[in-house]
């Protein structure tokens, strides 16, 4: 029995896989890219559908409109839900590593945009959460070639990610201060002045230190007012800290050009203009 030549076998297997690969590449080009007429048409139609679906959800919350056109609006919602479900499945098929797309920011938003409709079958009223579809409109920056804005968005996101350890330490410190301030004012003011518990006093401390000042609770004793004054002064300093942390990270990333190219493997965006490989999964762009 003759053995098949390994080179010929590899050639045949690659030729057999070629139609599927070509179909996936074509699907990826239309769905994830906007530098072709077909891709741009798809994205513009998608954005229009998103706007109409969000508008339908909002109109259904108006009692008079729902009384007259409730059935039509529900039909429209399900039509858009089915379309977005098909689109989500096609996006998974268009990439070589669908789990990476499914766990990405856009993938999670796409999933959440259709989940409430199916959830409403068991929990009536959950369809109101469909307004999260408006988050999908961030694709408008890529569709209309506003790569400068897209690049700035990625820079801001990367700066927030790089600032995460510092922000966690900062928030932990703030929470400690809030607990101390709340406990002190609870001891000083007491239930007779509205500070009936430590958690309620901590709520007052949060409102005071964030300079919101609802006015529903205020200290009456001189010592309590002194504590409130310290909390308010600390609040101004606290507001400046996270701004400085993020601003320093943004300054480090200033001037980095970003392309609108989507990775054919994991659909990730935000690559440098001269990038050849995806910086997330290593696939060739």
3-state DSSP of 59-86: HHCCHHHHHHHHHHHHHHHHHHHHHHHH
**73 and 234 Cβ atoms separated by less than 8 Å:** no
Q: Give the pLDDT means over successive 10-residue stretches in the chain (285 positions).
A: 44 47 82 77 83 83 86 88 89 86 82 80 67 64 50 67 80 89 91 90 91 84 91 83 72 59 71 73 76
pLDDT (0 to 100) of residue 205: 92
Whether the CA torsion 186, 187, 190, 193 is positive or negative: it is negative
Helices then strands (H, E): number in the chain?
11, 0
pLDDT (0 to 100) of residue 7: 46
pLDDT (0 to 100) of residue 137: 65
pLDDT (0 to 100) of residue 8: 42
**120 and 127 Cβ atoms separated by less than 8 Å:** yes
């Amino acid at each position: 029995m003759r053995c098949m030549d390994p080179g010929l076998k590899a050639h045949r297997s690659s030729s057999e896989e070629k139609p599927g690969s070509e179909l996936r590449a074509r699907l990826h080009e239309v769905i994830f890219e906007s530098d072709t007429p077909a891709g741009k048409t798809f994205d513009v139609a998608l954005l229009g559908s998103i706007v109409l679906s969000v508008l339908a959800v909002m109109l259904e919350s108006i009692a008079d409109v729902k009384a007259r056109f409730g059935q039509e609006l529900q039909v429209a919602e399900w039509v858009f839900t089915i379309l977005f479900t098909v689109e989500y499945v096609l996006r998974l098929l268009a990439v070589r590593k669908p789990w990476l797309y499914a766990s990405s920011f856009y993938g999670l938003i796409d999933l959440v945009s259709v989940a409430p409709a199916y959830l409403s079958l068991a929990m009536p009223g959950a369809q109101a959460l469909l307004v999260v579809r408006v988050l999908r409109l961030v694709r408008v920056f890529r569709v209309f070639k506003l790569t400068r804005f897209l690049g700035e968005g990625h820079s801001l996101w990367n700066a927030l990610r790089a600032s995460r350890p510092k922000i966690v330490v900062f928030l932990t410190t703030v929470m400690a201060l809030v607990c101390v301030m709340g406990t002190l004012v609870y001891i000083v003011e007491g239930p007779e002045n509205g500070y009936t518990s430590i958690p309620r006093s901590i709520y007052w401390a949060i409102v005071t230190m964030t300079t919101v000042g609802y006015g529903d609770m205020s200290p009456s004793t001189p010592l309590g007012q002194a504590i409130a004054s310290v909390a308010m002064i600390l609040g101004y300093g606290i507001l400046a800290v996270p701004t400085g942390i993020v601003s320093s990270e943004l300054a480090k990333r200033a001037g980095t050009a970003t392309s609108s190219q989507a990775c054919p493997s994991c659909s990730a965006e935000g690559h440098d203009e001269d990038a050849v490989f995806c910086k997330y999964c290593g696939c060739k762009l």
